[in-house]
């Protein structure tokens, strides 16, 4: 199976979230993914990056984040690699319902509601590796743009 891959290596400046979203939208558009699913993936990526920048790097814009988008068949796999303090997945709280939340807890809830899989890879020696997977629910457009 052919796999299309797109990798970004950015600094953890909050303004780069918008740049990553735009590049992702173009990449997914070329893959024939429909706008509704592009929006869901963009939103999940937005929240994951915001969490890394705020919680892992404490808004230190000099730190690095590596984002990898990989499409194979009807799935997209997205990984976020940071080099900050290890996240303990057991301490991540997802608060439901989101309308009664404080600011904390919404991001993870949003990410999990937009993707089919959310998991941390604990095999990295330093930092974190977050893996998201989204299975496309609709047919791709027949012709690439």
Segments forming the whole domain that contains residue 48: 3-135
Tens-digit pLDDT profile for residues 99-137: 555 566 678 888 999 999 999 998 888 999 999 999 998
Is 143 a domain residue? no
What span, in angstroms and rounded, lies between the C-alpha atoms of 38 and 26?
A: 9
Is 142 a domain residue? no
Is 144 a domain residue? no
Q: Using CA atoms in the order 121, 25, 58, 87, what is the torsion angle rounded to 10 degrees? A: -10
Is 87 a domain residue? yes
Is 75 a domain residue? yes
Q: Does the predicted TM-score (pTM) go above 0.95? A: no
3-class secondary structure per residue, 16-49: HHHHHHHHHHHHHHHCCCCHHHHHHHHHHHHHHH
Is 65 a domain residue? yes
User: What is the tally of structural domains in the chain?
Assistant: 1
Is 141 a domain residue? no
DSSP 140: P
- Given a cut of 70, is residue 143 above it in pLDDT? no
Tens-digit pLDDT profile for residues 26-73: 999 999 999 999 999 999 999 999 999 999 999 999 999 999 999 999
Distances (CA, A) of 101 to 13, 97, 98, 107, 110: 26, 7, 5, 11, 12
Rg of the chain (C-alpha set): 15
Is 140 a domain residue? no
Q: Read off the CATH number of the domain in which 7 is found.
A: 3.30.565.10
């Amino acid at each position: 199976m052919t796999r299309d891959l797109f990798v970004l290596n950015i600094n953890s400046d909050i303004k780069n979230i918008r740049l990553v979203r735009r590049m992702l939208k173009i990449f997914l558009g070329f893959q024939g993914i429909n706008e509704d699913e592009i929006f869901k993936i963009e939103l999940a990526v937005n929240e994951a990056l915001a969490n890394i920048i705020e919680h892992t790097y404490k808004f230190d814009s000099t730190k690095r984040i590596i984002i990898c988008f990989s499409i194979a068949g009807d799935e997209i796999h997205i990984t976020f690699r940071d080099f900050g303090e290890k996240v303990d997945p057991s301490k991540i709280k997802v608060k439901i319902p989101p309308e009664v939340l404080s600011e904390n807890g919404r991001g993870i809830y949003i990410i999990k509601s937009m993707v089919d899989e959310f998991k941390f890879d604990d095999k990295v020696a330093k930092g974190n590796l977050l893996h998201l997977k989204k299975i496309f629910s609709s047919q791709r457009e027949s012709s690439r743009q």
